[in-house]
Structure 1
Amino acid sequence: MKALVYNGVEHLSFADVPDAVPGIGECLVRVEASGICGSDMHAYLGHDERRPAPLILGHEAAGIVSSGPRDGTRVTINPLVTCGTCPACLSKRENLCSNRQIISMPPREGAFAQFVTIPDSNLIEVPEDVSLAKAALAEPLAVSWHAVRLAIEALHPATNRRALVIGGGAIGLAAALALGAMDVDDVTVAEPNALRRDYLRALGSFNVVEIPTGEFSLVIDAVGYAATRAVASAHTKPGGVMAHVGLGEDTGGLDVRRMTLQEITFIGTYTYTSQDFRDTSQAIFDGRLGALNWTEMRGLSEGAQAFRDLRLGAVAAPKVILNPWE
């Protein structure tokens, strides 16, 4: 089969690789759409030791089951594989499973390939009237759905719901959409890239700015650099909640003194629970997350160039989705 293989820092190749072979309890899925995630970019730049070369990246995928009793079923893939038996799994917090795996991280190859293997329990059937390119957005949307849900649950019920999302990429945009789906109407997205700001403004669903002003009760850092954490610290109102999603940089930026004196709640959020993924998928199918027409499609054979363009900030669309058959 064909795959986009990460071979080292800023080096990707479109190549023939051994066919994916499902294990016991797994399905073989013919990948029809696979999105480029920020974590894929971190690996591409050599910033993620969990993803050593050579490796097939990609974990935001949808396709068609090509083996077993569900052969022919259109599905979106929950890429987080968990044990199901540890305390975290039994308490329905599968994202904290100590034995968790994710496709695109050893020992599991990723979905920038024509086929991928995944446990049957990680598949959600996609209705015929929903495109598989749209269904592939379930994973990044679920990341933000989970973060927004936790932030809202942590917010004091008497506090107003004025929200700031830092970063207008796919995770930031997904957070803004999730906030809207959870009845938060006053949402601002801060995005420094002028090309992307113009793209987001054209969507017309929320306020888009270069630099935020004022204070917000809900702040979602969808970037995760010291600079964005500093912005989040400065703009979270007393008694507010800051949810941290991005993994751009490990340290720096938080104003711990202000957070302590103003009783600001900080929540680190990672991926999603199985229920969050199901809820997000249903919200996609129901249309509660909007048209989801903010993607750019490219062939997997053009994947290396797509990564270079993203690296240069030359892509306006928040999400690039690759078709493994082109």
Structure 2
Amino acid sequence: MKALVYTGPNSLVYREEPDPVAEPGELVVRVEAVGICGSDMHAYHGHDSRRPAPLILGHEAAGRIVGGARDGERVTINPLVVDPSCPYAIEGRWHLSPTRQIISMPPRSGAFAELVRIPERNVVAIPDHMPISHAALAEPVAVAWHAVRLGAERVHQPLAACRVVILGGGAIGLASAIVARHFGARDVRIAEPNVLRQMAIADQEGFDVYAPGTLGEPQANSIDLVIDAVGASATRACACAMVRPGGVIVHAGLLPGLDGLDVRKITLQEVTVTGTYCYTPIDFHQTVDALAAGALGALKWFSECPLEDGAKAFRDIDEGTSGASKLVLLC
């Protein structure tokens, strides 16, 4: 099969690789669309020791089952592979299981390839009318779905009455805004420094977008729910400054660093700070259903290119030359 292989920092090579062989309980899926995630970018830059070169990256995938009783069935892939007998899995929180694996991280190869193997329980059937690129968005949108759900459960009022700010207009940030709107939020703002992305988000989704550090930034102590989809020291500090007493910060970003949290304010004003990681199987299925039903909008916030041009796509993301919040590779 052809695959886009991470061979070292800032290096991707499109080349022949051995076809995957399904183990008992697994399927092989012919990948038709696969998104580039921020974690793929971290690995590409050599900043993720969990993803050593050489390795096939990519985990936001959809395609068709190859062989067996379900041959040809269109599916999207939940890339989190967990032992179903684990206590965390039994209580429904598969994503917290210590047995957790994910495709694109050893011992499992990723989906920047023509074929990928995955347990049968990890595929979700999609309807014929659903565009395959939309199906590949299920994984990042499920991350946002989980983050918004956690925030909604912790804030002490309906989302319709909340002032919501999303820090970061990338795929997770924009998807969080879209999901928050789907859950009933009416006042949603997005902080994004990239001018091209600001324009795209405002034009395509109609959100109020502002550049961090400008006059458009929310006043201190004014926001009910903040979702930090960046996770940098600066965004943690912004989140702490703008959140109101008794408000909620959901920390979704994974950039390095520990600084930025105002622990005194968190304590004295009873601010809830919660981490969010991935999604539960229920979150994933509900996300797929919403995407298939068109409930999350026209989904015009991503761009596409062939897998063979994946190395250039990574460079374009690095250079910030695209206004798209997500780039999907087509196989």
Interval of TM-score (by shorter of Structure 1 and Structure 2): over 0.9
- Counterpart in the other structure of 1:250: 257
- Counterpart in the other structure of 1:263: 270
2:120 is the alignment partner of 1:120? yes
- Counterpart in the other structure of 2:326: 319
2:224 is the alignment partner of 1:217? yes
- Counterpart in the other structure of 1:198: 199
- Counterpart in the other structure of 1:306: 313
What is the DSSP-based 3-state SS (H/G/I as helix, E as strand, rest coil) of the residue aligned with 2:23? coil
Q: Distance in 2 between matches of 1:239 and 1:250?
A: 25
Superposition pairs of residues 229-244 of structure 1, within 5 angstroms: 229-244=236-251
Please report how far the alpha carbon of residue 41 of structure 1 lies from its aligned counterpart in structure 2 after TM superposition. Answer: 0.3
Q: Distance in 1 between matches of 2:328 and 2:289?
A: 20
> Aligned AA for 2:69?
P
> Aligned AA for 1:213?
P
- Counterpart in the other structure of 1:91: 91
- Counterpart in the other structure of 1:163: 164
Question: Any unmatched runs of 5+ in structure 1?
Answer: none
Q: Is the 8 A contact 1:186 1:206 kept in 2?
A: no
Please report how far the alpha carbon of residue 131 of structure 1 lies from its aligned counterpart in structure 2 after TM superposition. Answer: 0.6
Question: Any unmatched runs of 5+ in structure 2?
Answer: none
TM-score normalised by the chain length of structure 1: 0.98
The farther-off stretch of 315-324 and 34-43 is: 315-324
2:235 is the alignment partner of 1:228? yes
- How large is the RMSD of aligned CA atoms in angstroms? 1.0
Please report how far the alpha carbon of residue 27 of structure 1 lies from its aligned counterpart in structure 2 after TM superposition. Answer: 0.6
Q: Distance in 1 between matches of 2:88 and 2:206?
A: 36
Please report how far the alpha carbon of residue 250 of structure 1 lies from its aligned counterpart in structure 2 after TM superposition. Answer: 3.2
Distance 1:175 1:249, change over 3 A: same
- Give per-residue Cα distances to partners, 1:102-158, cap 9 Å, x unaligned: 000000000000000001111111111111111100000000100000010011137
- Counterpart in the other structure of 1:47: 47
Please report how far the alpha carbon of residue 245 of structure 1 lies from its aligned counterpart in structure 2 after TM superposition. Answer: 0.8
- Counterpart in the other structure of 1:174: 175
TM-score normalised by the chain length of structure 2: 0.96
Q: Is the 8 A contact 1:5 1:56 kept in 2?
A: yes
> Aligned AA for 2:168?
G
Q: Is the 8 A contact 1:170 1:319 kept in 2?
A: yes
Q: Distance in 2 between matches of 1:231 and 1:47?
A: 25
Q: Is the 8 A contact 2:204 2:300 kept in 1?
A: no
2:153 is the alignment partner of 1:153? yes
Q: Distance in 2 between matches of 1:62 and 1:46?
A: 26
> Aligned AA for 2:32?
E
Which 4+ runs in 1 deviate beyond 6 A? none
- Counterpart in the other structure of 2:282: 275
Q: Distance in 2 between matches of 1:283 and 1:323?
A: 22
